[in-house]
Amino acid sequence: MKTKYSCLAMSSKLSLVKVLRYPCLVFFIVSDPITQQYEQLGTDVVLKCESSLVGIEWKHNGIWIHHNTKMHENGQQLTLMEVKKHQAGTYSCHDPENKKVLSVVELHLGFPPQQMNVQCWASQYPEKINCTWDIWPDTHLRTTFISTYRLGLAAPDPLNECVQFDINPYSCQIRDYKMFADLPYLVNVTAVNPLGSLTVLHHFFVENIIRPDPPVNISLYPVHPGSNVLLLQWSPPPSWPQLDYFPLSYLIRYKRTGAKQYRTVGPYERTSFLIMGNRPGSTVHAQVAARDFTGMGLHSDWSTVVIAKL
């Protein structure tokens, strides 16, 4: 085995370890593959050197290791006590006489998936259902997800893929589903990384999770110069696909200068609203939310706030 120090990364048939030192980049080139080792943060970790020599010496990211109470050698092993995140990286063991590389371990530290929350919303009803999830605490490791769904809570209903997209790996989309189904849909999301896996089940009735995106293009201004009547206008959310067949209704909330709470009115089918009874010099804040015309599901989040000063 040979140790090569170079400021350039050049290797064709040999395994190449990550950059180990700056500004001159230091590489180890070894004939055997680098061992990938995954361990949990906060635990004791044992690294093994593939050699029978005694008095092995170790480097971490190209720097000789100085032993302390949290790190010690035992023959061909290096033990790291209660490992912290900064201790991840490349470990190489060396011949104590000529300092040649004996073997290399790439240590990855993190956690298995521990907790996950899954939510699904039909913000593009009746065409698509979007499911999202978040996982905590951070695993600090590359975590992949498997997402499926079925109609009904048990077999024999077939499993279908909830399609994931690279743009957001914490989400998937359901496009093939039945409206007004008598049975709930069951979404199954499994998080997987080298330290473990976690599966969460989430069920829903489609019509209960209808929730449009907020309205857009909100504006608020006097109906004519000098008027104390304000005209609030907006546009439907562009993600809502079939307004002609599945119209939306709207809630409006507004408050004037000095008011502690918003006043909420609606729902209305139109996309404008007159706010009257305003005093000269007052300031009005207003927002709009959308909901399926039939009242199924929930209303959207409130739109951005618009402000008009008289």
The predicted structure's pLDDT at residue 20: 36
Higher pLDDT, 7 or 68: 68
**Cα(277)–Cα(85) distance, rounded to whole angstroms?**
60
What b/e sequence results for 200-226 when a residue is b if at least 16 CB atoms lie within 10 Å of its CB, and e otherwise? bebbbebbebbbbbbbeebebeeeeee
CA-CA distance, 198 to 122, in Å (whole number)? 25
pLDDT higher than 50, residue 8: no
Summarize the confidence of residues 210-215 as an average pLDDT: 97
Residue 62 structure tokens:
């190209």
Is 48 among the domain residues? yes
Q: Is 227 found in the same domain as 141?
A: no
Provide the pLDDT confidence category of residue 43 given band limits of 50, 70 and 90: very high
Rg (C-alpha) for the chain, rounded Å, is 30
| Amino acid at the residue 216 | V
Q: Which residues have a Cβ under 8 Å from the Cβ of 237 and sit 6 or more positions away?
A: 123, 212, 213, 214, 215, 216, 248, 290, 300
Helix (H, G, I), strand (E, B) or coil at 207: helix
Domain boundary among 68, 89, 110: 110
- 203 shares its domain with 290: no
| Paired tokens of 226 | 């000098």
Q: Does a structural domain hold residue 29?
A: yes
Identify the domain boundary among 208, 235, 251: 208
pTM: 0.80
Residue 275 is part of a domain; what is its CATH number? 2.60.40.10
Q: Are residues 261 and 291 in the same domain?
A: yes
Domain that holds residue 131: 115-208
| Contact present, 244 and 268 (Cβ < 8 Å) | no
pLDDT digits 0-9 by tens, 153-195: 876 678 999 999 988 999 999 999 999 999 999 999 999 999 9
204 shares its domain with 230: no
Q: Are 156 and 184 part of one and the same domain?
A: yes
Number of domains in the chain: 3
**In a domain? residue 9:** no
Q: Are 103 and 30 in contact (CB under 8 A)?
A: yes
3-state secondary structure of 87: helix
Q: Count other Cβ atoms within 10 Å, centred on residue 88.
A: 22
In a domain, 10, yes or no: no
Confidence class of residue 32 from pLDDT cuts 50, 70 and 90? Answer: low
Structure tokens, 143: 């975590």
pLDDT for res 155: 65
Q: Which of 78, 95, 110 is the last residue of a domain?
A: 110
Query: Considering the domain boundaries, does residue 4 fall inside one?
Result: no
**241 and 288, same structural domain?**
yes
The 10s digit of each residue's pLDDT in 58-67 is: 999 999 998 7
Asked if 139 and 133 count as a contact pair (C-beta separation under 8 A), the reply is no
The CA dihedral of 207, 208, 209, 213, to the nearest 10 degrees, is 80
